[in-house]
């Protein structure tokens, strides 16, 4: 889809639904800098998720989320040889005075669950300001090495992240309550009434138009084992929602 057409469709969707905040994800959004430069102006706030191998653009009202799945050997097994090094090189090229927040998101899986603190130690000296941990969202009948297969077996990893939040409160930006909600005794109450399904509008580019899948993780998802950061973040925020009639900021802050 060419840039003017895409911007026109996004402006229309923004107006129709009154969307305050946009999460740009791919593919790789930075492959379309023309769309990002103009498209981010349509929204009061923007988060751009990137693989971190392309130089970041200085955009106003923007948070960059760089995806890393662990220390180099674990990350590169998933994302390709040399990817971790390329991300470090991108970070080192960020100029003085760069406005956007630059953070990392790590998807916790059964493969990397024991390497999370090493990732924190590697990122602390870099331009990364903090990170969130999301938990793997399996598709239905997922038999891969990434999934725990049950909420009870995932609990060890969730408890591990809760402990990392305790040890690195300034750097691990997951909301404490959202992590508690991910524990097996709480998670189904959240995912059975998924706040992301109610509050987010996923738009996938398909051919010449945008289509909306079942949720932001696609169509063939296993909600019972969902560990998506945004789901539990929203659930924790909704617990503290001000009474009707009182306003709160439309732009969600990622930090606890």
Q: Does 236 bind ligand SF4 (CB under 6 A)?
A: no
Tell the smallest beta-carbon distance from residue 245 to ligand SF4 (Å).
28
Q: How far apart are CA 231 and CA 71, in angstroms?
A: 25
- Which positions ≥6 away from 99 have C-beta within 8 Å? 58, 59, 60, 62
Q: Based on the number of CB atoms within 10 Å of its own CB, is 94 exposed (0-12), middle (13-18) or buried (19 or more)?
A: middle
Among 110, 139, 133, residue whose Cα is nearest residue 217:
139
Q: Does 182 bind ligand SF4 (CB under 6 A)?
A: no
* Structure-token pair, residue 206: 């398909």
Q: Does 215 bind ligand SF4 (CB under 6 A)?
A: yes
**Nearest to ligand SF4 of 46, 228 (CB atom):** 228
Tell the smallest beta-carbon distance from residue 217 to ligand SF4 (Å).
5
Q: How far apart are CA 95 and CA 55, in angstroms?
A: 10
Q: If phi over 0 gives left and psi between -120 and 50 gives alpha, with beta otherwise, what is residue 61? A: left
Q: Does 63 bind ligand SF4 (CB under 6 A)?
A: no
Please give the helix or strand (H or E) that residue 135 lies within, else none: strand 131-135
Q: Does 35 bind ligand SF4 (CB under 6 A)?
A: no
Q: Does 194 bind ligand SF4 (CB under 6 A)?
A: yes
Half-sphere exposure of 3 (CA within 13 A, CB side): 11
Q: Does 228 bind ligand SF4 (CB under 6 A)?
A: yes
Q: Does 107 bind ligand SF4 (CB under 6 A)?
A: no
Q: Does 187 bind ligand SF4 (CB under 6 A)?
A: no
Q: Does 105 bind ligand SF4 (CB under 6 A)?
A: no
Among 20, 54, 59, residue whose Cα is nearest residue 38:
59
Q: Does 68 bind ligand SF4 (CB under 6 A)?
A: no
Q: Does 137 bind ligand SF4 (CB under 6 A)?
A: yes
Tell me which stretch binds ligand SF4 (CB under 6 A): 41-49, 62-70, 103-111, 222-230: 222-230
Tell me which stretch binds ligand SF4 (CB under 6 A): 19-27, 52-60, 171-179, 213-221: 213-221
Tell me which stretch binds ligand SF4 (CB under 6 A): 17-25, 98-106, 147-155, 221-229: 221-229
Q: Does 217 bind ligand SF4 (CB under 6 A)?
A: yes
Tell the smallest beta-carbon distance from residue 10 to ligand SF4 (Å).
22
User: CA angle, 238 as apex, 205 and 210 as ends, to 5°?
Assistant: 10
CA distances from 41 to 4, 7, 11, 23 (A): 14, 10, 10, 13
Contact residues for ligand SF4 (CB under 6 A)?
A: 137, 191, 194, 196-197, 215-217, 221, 223, 226, 228, 231
């Amino acid at each position: 889809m060419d840039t003017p057409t895409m911007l026109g469709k996004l402006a229309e969707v923004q107006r129709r639904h009154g969307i305050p905040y946009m999460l740009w994800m791919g593919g790789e959004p930075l492959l379309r800098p023309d769309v990002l430069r103009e498209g981010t102006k349509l929204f009061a706030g923007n988060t751009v998720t990137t693989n971190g191998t392309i130089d970041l653009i200085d955009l106003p009202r923007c948070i960059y989320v760089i995806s890393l799945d662990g220390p180099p050997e674990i990350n590169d097994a998933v994302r390709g040889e040399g990817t971790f090094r390329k991300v470090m090189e991108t970070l080192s090229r960020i100029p003085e005075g760069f406005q956007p927040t630059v953070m990392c998101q790590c998807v916790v899986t059964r493969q990397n669950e024991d390497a999370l603190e090493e990732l924190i130690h590697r990122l602390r000296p870099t331009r990364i300001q903090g990170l969130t941990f999301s938990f793997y969202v399996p598709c239905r009948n997922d038999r891969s090495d990434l999934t725990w297969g049950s909420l009870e077996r995932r609990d060890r990893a969730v408890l591990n992240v809760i402990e990392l939040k305790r040890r690195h409160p300034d750097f691990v930006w997951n909301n404490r309550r959202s992590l508690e909600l991910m524990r097996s005794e709480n998670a189904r109450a959240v995912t059975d009434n998924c706040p992301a399904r109610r509050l987010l509008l996923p738009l996938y580019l398909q051919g010449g138009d945008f289509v909306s899948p079942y949720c932001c993780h696609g169509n063939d998802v296993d909600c019972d084992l969902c560990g998506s950061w945004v789901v539990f973040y929203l659930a924790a925020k909704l617990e503290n929602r001000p009474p009707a009639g009182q306003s709160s900021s439309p732009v969600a802050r990622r930090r606890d």
